[in-house]
Structure 1
Amino acid sequence: MVQLYNNGAYLLNGTEIIEDNSEANAKLATKLGANVISKDEAATGTIAYGILEKHNTSGNMDKLKIKFDKLTSHDITFVGIIQTARASGLEKFPVPYVLTNCHNSLCAVGGTINEDDHMFGLTSAKKYGGIYVPPHQAVIHQYAREMLAGGGKMILGSDSHTRYGALGTMAMGEGGPELVKQLLSKTYDINMPKVVGVYLTGKPQKGVGPQDVALAIIGEVFANGYVNNKVMEFVGDGVANLSADFRIGIDVMTTETTCLSSIWKTDDTIKEFYEIHGRKEEYKELNPAHITYYDGMIYVDLSKIKPMIAMPFHPSNTYTIEELNANLMDILADCEKKALVSLGGAVDFKLRDKVRNGKLYVEQGIIAGCAGGGFENICEASDILNGASIGSDEFTLSVYPASTPIYMELVKNGCVAKLMGAGAIVKTAFCGPCFGAGDTPSHNAFSIRHSTRNFPNREGSKLQNGQISSVALMDARSIAATAANKGYLTAATDIDVEFTNPKYFFDQTIYENRVFDSKGVADSSVEIKFGPNIKDWPEMPGLTDNLLIKVVSEIHDPVTTTDELIPSGETSSYRSNPIGLAEFTLSRKDPEYVGKAKAVQAAEMARRENKSLQEALPEIDVIINKIKDNYSDVNNINTGIGSVIFAVKPGDGSAREQAASCQRVLGGWANIANEYATKRYRSNLINWGMLPFIIAKEELPFQNGDYLFIPEIKKAVEEKQSEMKAYVVGNSLKEFTLKLGELTDDERTIILKGCLINFYKG
């Protein structure tokens, strides 16, 4: 089904794979004769290399400085981005920048604050020369596919699922500060990423959809980090057997592998996609070179992929539906056991009580968003449900087309009528079910969703209130099959259906009538509308000579998601208010964090105001006196005081900058980790002036509540030291080692100055 090569691999003429092992040179010589080229030269033959080379401004392909063609954000990221850019001197959007409104579009939390954000976006698009997509028109990524993507182009988005590789566009999802850099005509600085080939062959079985293929890949590559921070490049004869929608459905889920980006070979199928959307000039044929070297290879036989399910609480927790049904109680018991780690025992989580007469019963089905809401997914779901009934028991089904043009065509071709006739509810374009802001099931309910993630609380439950429901990821076809079976888990391959395969017709006038497009013309006379919840960023101090930081949270889960660092769902409404949002930091993982961080921050505020530290934080005097036994020059001027969290592997999931900025707002100076789950979370820490420390994977020298002293940290950053000594402050100073990892010169300066805003202020 899915095979991972142990080494890199050569791809010859796009069809033949030769693994990079002891026999590789002989095989290459036999095949190519005098035409054999070096591995380094062959590595330049990837599609990814060619696109990165055209967008790199450094002149050095080892150290990239990328300028993107276009930018995109949604309504829980664009306010903070534009506020940061305004504080840093923004005058005009230098490239097309699309502001979509698909996350807080229900306007259901916090009075006017959601619509206030939307009006901020509209007036900002007018003032700075952007594009504004009103609520319910399209989810961010569908609009980008329809109206932004282009062959050989690069797009940066402030959402982790910014993936348009199937259309020949290298797209990346990052935290807001990286978009700020582009808005200020700066660059995205990374080392040349490794490129892993994904060789597709064969043709999917009837009833198997893109989510099934994606989950099969994710299950093989997530835990071992096979593609972590690398580019996935989809090639092979099997690509031609997939529709554009099918490719898009696989592509958007590559984010869950923790790869950096994705790109696909393109063909007439993608050319037709651009023609349908009235943008045929954006098509570009893309193929790897005749001799191409990949740093790894994933071989996928599409014909052997079966309907899949990702059980709670991660997209990599995968099984075939056949395997799950055959070993139901054992797998459910294992999921409950894993949940003890994910949920920390905070609630009594059960799945085995969902078994009725030997079958797994689910209470809810959702087909939605950038992954599930595509035209083809919904058409095939409607074919399965045509003439059926979802029943009148607990099970419900909601379907969210990814854009109004898709919705309109589904109405015209009768698919909406089929779905509604079966008992489904068809709603407008909205990302809520994907991040916990819509269709929250009842307590202990089990939901199956064709969406992107199934982390704890992504369905909207509140662990801190004793509420828990859970999500499994599935393809729209098997969700529809389950719905037709009135909530009993069913694979789409187990039902008899004839797919009608209706043709898609795109009506661009829907956008022409509602989307504001400045055509790149800024109007400086426009006054931006600020609602009362939209607040400026608080002042961030620069790095001091020394640091005294208190460990205020210690997380030993194998992976910590950004959802656990700052929850999604209803808290998303407060992302325009940095101080207000910070109150929710770690609230679903460590409810004591905010209070502990604030207590330490009080001492830092007293230090900066030259007031008594002891009055602000009585315990601090003993700590500082112990440090002075060895470092007598420590004082209020040269030693900053703040908090730090430890997590084994933080930052999986969302690109949200607030996972870092909320810690910073509460006085955080650093994270300490064994490793960082994604490049984007580490970048968020850096852009908010926080030190991304690494500590060896061994017994920790400190524990929650300990104070850590790091002498001459400023000097270490300035002098590009890769590691530095630190001390646990107790009865004595216990020395240990911290590492910083590679930092660019700009990143070091950002940390020294305290954050990206300070960096651009000078």
Structure 2
Amino acid sequence: MVTLSKTGVYLMNGREVVADTEENRARLAGLQPEQARQGTMAYRILEAHNTSSNMDKLKIKFDAMTSHDITYVGIVQTARASGLEKFPIPYVLTNCHNSLCAVGGTINEDDHMFGLSAAKKYGGIYVPAHQAVIHSYMREMMSACGRMILGSDSHTRYGALGTMAVGEGGPELVKQLLGKTYDINRPEVIAVYLTGKPDPRVGPQDVALAIIGEVFKNGYVKNKVMEFVGDGIANLNVDYRCGIDVMTTETTCLSSIWATDSAVQDYFEIHGRPDAYREMRPADVAYYDGLITVDLSTVEPMIAMPFHPSNTYTIRELNANLGDILREVERVGAQQLDAPNIDFKLTDKIVDGRLKVDQGIIAGCAGGTFDNLCDAADILSGRSIGSDEFAMSVYPGSQPIYLELVRNGSIAKFMEAGAAVKTAFCGPCFGAGDVPANGALSIRHTTRNFPSREGSKPGNNQIASVALMDARSIAATAVNGGFLTPATDLDVSFGKPAYHFDRAIYQNRVHDSYAHGNPMLDLKFGPNIADWPAMSALTDDLILKVVSEIHDPVTTTDELIPSGETSSYRSNPLKLAEFALSRKDPAYVGRAKEVQKAEHARLAGQDPKATLPELAEAVALFETVKPVDALRTGVGSVIFAVKPGDGSAREQAASCQKVLGGWANIANEYATKRYRSNLINWGMLPLLIEEGALPFQNLDYIFLPGIRRAVEEKADTITAYAAHGGELVPFPLTLGQLTDDERRIILAGCLINFYRDNK
């Protein structure tokens, strides 16, 4: 289904793939890769948005931005503390994450009113709850060929509509609000060559999971741009393309872009924005740093088993080897959960030799598209999901989609079959909607299936599981009594009704003050909306206590700060921090707070050892290296994780550590650029240590003498010292590549300090 090249390739006339060999370079009259790289669509879009004179060191300004109600309060608060006067570009604030969280009384709606007041004051676009999920609205109303959009949600992807979009942590949006730039090295570009035509019963999630399964573990596209080309694109409608595109986030790529055609032109015409279209394709000769070839005609219905979108199998393969695969998923899953009190079981779902699931969900930016829901409705038409344990819900991605489904009869098909139809909401993607019973297995056409993404709480002895599937196979399973069924097992014809976009829905409800903000208006603060606490500049030296040690191959942002009901506290940094690592290491918060007491004592001019007596023994060891000035040596916490930061763009995965006194992470590798950027923007050191035996363990102290000078002078290696087993153990750390501004942010202590001090 999917193959990967081992070398870079030239793409000739958008069709012919030529491997990068000396022989072929000679055939191309000595054309070198660097010259041909300029022929990619990605290069030309980046060049058009780069404000520096150096295409290797990009300084990007975006055309528009977007945030949802888990992130926008913190972003506006950070920007306001840094000198925000107005939103300089269109900034869309959607309300699709907190709209159903029934925790915290008025908290969620207080956040929404804050967002509306911010749109009025600074000149923004406010989309009320239940109108649209963030990415559906951005596709419908803000995408345009050749445009770049930045979002504070990791699934910010509109490449199928010719828009390069990037999901980042909130501080990167703050920089844009303050007129600054997004600074990155020019990313490599990987071609995704689509050929063939998929079976009508195979959907975009099947194609996406096939790709993710091949490229996630080997990092083939990590922090790179995926550029979709090939004659297979013409065999996919635009919703189908968007369904594949939004899932590219799960490959850990930086962004995506697709060649555009008349289907995209029709999309913009339907949505009343014909000027947003222009044809986009690679130059006659374009060079790519790698090639993913996807034969769409060979893609089968897929399933991603718990607990990651890359844990993929064909449904045929799973059904044929059910016991063996489920036992392996149980084994690996139990290790990932690291919760001895949880009996993680899937083999108990085997009934008469078949896998019986408990729930089916089609929702959000990935599943809730018009095409997906029409096809699922056709499968369900005239049938029933039954009256037993199996339940099904569908969430159209926006009110315009919902209305059209009502008009063409699809909603009636769902309801008659027994499926619940709900409004636009992202909850099923992060564990805040349709939470199944303990021990249940939910199949979902959503974006992720990390632990607790279905709403269970392993720390409270509750566990349920999510497997990702395409809407068509979910519907096929639903009409088959909950027994796992690929849609290709059914004989079904799809009506494929035309889509008609009703713009009046947004005209009647969306508040648009772009370029017309009123600075005299006040922001509306609910009692839970709090300012960021004061944060200190980086000290000359640092003493860090290791307060959590995580050896999972990958640590997700959900494990660093849980999603779900904690969303209600996103606007209160201190309250939210209480949930940090709560489902991975429940002792973390208490340990970090104990260390933070010593730092608070230092800042008050007191000896931190008096507050934290255990520190004295470590200091005695460290003073054999360098005298420890109690008032000029910061004291804080640090976590070690093998590869932290996969998943969400939520800055709170880093900021909660900072609020609790965290000064750094130590890792073998960072899973995503966005998590590493979040650490930096909150003034935390993104330290790297080579893979192998650690010179420290949990609860040890680490000394970083001269750390401020090392950051200032761009030291290649930092010599750290661990107080381990009563002995001093030196070991090397690195910071990786940092821009000058990133160094200044770390030195200042956080982004807020940096901009406040440099107004």
Same fold (TM over 0.5): yes
Matched residues, number: 755
Which of these residues, 116, 119, 123, is aligned with residue 122 of structure 1?
116
CA distance in 2, matches of 1:209, 1:614: 61
Q: Name the SS for the 2:192 alignment partner.
A: strand
Aligned to 1:21: 21
Q: Given that residues 608 and 636 in structure 1 are in contact (C-alpha distance below 8 angstroms), is that contact kept between their aligned partners in structure 2?
A: no
> How far does residue 25 in structure 1 lie from its aligned partner after superposition?
2.5
> How far does residue 623 in structure 1 lie from its aligned partner after superposition?
1.6
CA distance in 1, matches of 2:693, 2:392: 48
Note the 1:518-597 alignment, pairs <5 A. Answer: 518-597=513-592
CA distance in 1, matches of 2:223, 2:24: 26
Aligned to 1:228: 222
1:238-288 CA-to-partner distances (Å, cap 9, x unmatched) read 001100000000000000000000000000000000000000100011000
Which amino acid letter does the alignment assign opposite residue 550 of structure 1?
K
CA distance in 2, matches of 1:279, 1:738: 52
1:48 counterpart = 2:48: no
Which amino acid letter does the alignment assign opposite residue 268 of structure 1?
S
> How far does residue 103 in structure 1 lie from its aligned partner after superposition?
0.2
1:136-161 CA-to-partner distances (Å, cap 9, x unmatched) read 00000000000000100000000000
Aligned to 1:368: 363
Aligned to 1:100: 94
Q: Name the SS for the 1:589 alignment partner.
A: coil
> How far does residue 692 in structure 1 lie from its aligned partner after superposition?
0.2
Which of these residues, 85, 90, 106, is aligned with residue 112 of structure 1?
106
> How far does residue 24 in structure 1 lie from its aligned partner after superposition?
2.6
1:380-419 CA-to-partner distances (Å, cap 9, x unmatched) read 0000000010001100000000000000000000000001
Aligned to 2:745: 750
1:275-334 CA-to-partner distances (Å, cap 9, x unmatched) read 000001000110001111000000000000000000000000000000000000000001
Which amino acid letter does the alignment assign opposite residue 323 of structure 2?
M
Which amino acid letter does the alignment assign opposite residue 407 of structure 2?
K
> How far does residue 128 in structure 1 lie from its aligned partner after superposition?
0.2
Q: Name the SS for the 2:51 alignment partner.
A: coil
> How far does residue 107 in structure 1 lie from its aligned partner after superposition?
4.8
Q: TM-score of the superposition, structure 2-length normalised?
A: 0.99
1:268 counterpart = 2:265: no
Which of these residues, 242, 248, 259, is aligned with residue 254 of structure 1?
248
CA distance in 2, matches of 1:680, 1:340: 28
> CA separation of 1:584/1:511 partners in 2, compared to 1, >3 Å: closer, same or farther?
same
Which amino acid letter does the alignment assign opposite residue 46 of structure 1?
T
Q: Name the SS for the 1:44 alignment partner.
A: helix
Which amino acid letter does the alignment assign opposite residue 106 of structure 2?
T
1:482 counterpart = 2:480: no
Which of these residues, 418, 421, 428, is aligned with residue 423 of structure 1?
418
1:204-230 CA-to-partner distances (Å, cap 9, x unmatched) read 012000000000000000000000000
Which of these residues, 176, 194, 204, is aligned with residue 200 of structure 1?
194
Q: What are structure 1's unaligned runs of at least 5 residues?
A: none
> How far does residue 700 in structure 1 lie from its aligned partner after superposition?
0.5
> How far does residue 22 in structure 1 lie from its aligned partner after superposition?
4.6
> Following superposition, which runs of at least 4 residues in structure 1 exceed 3 angstroms of deviation?
none
> How far does residue 345 in structure 1 lie from its aligned partner after superposition?
3.6
Q: Given that residues 101 and 567 in structure 2 are in contact (C-alpha distance below 8 angstroms), is that contact kept between their aligned partners in structure 1?
A: no
Q: What are structure 2's unaligned runs of at least 5 residues?
A: none
Which of these residues, 369, 386, 395, is aligned with residue 381 of structure 2?
386
Q: Name the SS for the 2:209 alignment partner.
A: helix
Q: Given that residues 133 and 516 in structure 1 are in contact (C-alpha distance below 8 angstroms), is that contact kept between their aligned partners in structure 2?
A: yes
Which of these residues, 267, 283, 308, is aligned with residue 289 of structure 1?
283
Which amino acid letter does the alignment assign opposite residue 19 of structure 1?
A
Q: Given that residues 696 and 723 in structure 2 are in contact (C-alpha distance below 8 angstroms), is that contact kept between their aligned partners in structure 1?
A: no
CA distance in 2, matches of 1:170, 1:75: 23
1:333 counterpart = 2:327: yes
CA distance in 2, matches of 1:350, 1:272: 47
Q: Given that residues 622 and 721 in structure 2 are in contact (C-alpha distance below 8 angstroms), is that contact kept between their aligned partners in structure 1?
A: no
Q: Name the SS for the 1:315 alignment partner.
A: coil
CA distance in 2, matches of 1:617, 1:168: 56
Q: Name the SS for the 1:471 alignment partner.
A: strand
Q: Name the SS for the 1:206 alignment partner.
A: coil
Which of these residues, 440, 448, 457, is aligned with residue 445 of structure 1?
440
Which amino acid letter does the alignment assign opposite residue 616 of structure 2?
D
Q: Given that residues 97 and 427 in structure 2 are in contact (C-alpha distance below 8 angstroms), is that contact kept between their aligned partners in structure 1?
A: yes
Using the TM superposition, name which of 373-382 and 606-615 deviates more: 606-615
Which amino acid letter does the alignment assign opposite residue 186 of structure 2?
M
Q: Given that residues 214 and 253 in structure 1 are in contact (C-alpha distance below 8 angstroms), is that contact kept between their aligned partners in structure 2?
A: yes
Q: TM-score of the superposition, structure 1-length normalised?
A: 0.98
Q: Given that residues 542 and 703 in structure 2 are in contact (C-alpha distance below 8 angstroms), is that contact kept between their aligned partners in structure 1?
A: yes
Which of these residues, 457, 462, 467, is aligned with residue 462 of structure 1?
457
1:607-657 CA-to-partner distances (Å, cap 9, x unmatched) read 11012423321111222122223312x112221000000000000000000
1:631 counterpart = 2:609: no
CA distance in 2, matches of 1:626, 1:495: 70
Which of these residues, 320, 323, 330, is aligned with residue 314 of structure 2?
320
Q: Name the SS for the 2:39 alignment partner.
A: coil
1:704-736 CA-to-partner distances (Å, cap 9, x unmatched) read 010000100000000011211000124332100
Q: Given that residues 613 and 621 in structure 1 are in contact (C-alpha distance below 8 angstroms), is that contact kept between their aligned partners in structure 2?
A: no
Q: Name the SS for the 1:309 alignment partner.
A: strand
Q: Given that residues 194 and 294 in structure 2 are in contact (C-alpha distance below 8 angstroms), is that contact kept between their aligned partners in structure 1?
A: yes
Q: Given that residues 232 and 259 in structure 1 are in contact (C-alpha distance below 8 angstroms), is that contact kept between their aligned partners in structure 2?
A: yes
Percent sequence identity is 70
Aligned to 1:68: 62
CA distance in 1, matches of 2:339, 2:347: 17
Using the TM superposition, name which of 724-733 and 484-493 deviates more: 724-733
Aligned to 1:309: 303
CA distance in 1, matches of 2:514, 2:665: 42
Which of these residues, 129, 139, 143, is aligned with residue 133 of structure 2?
139
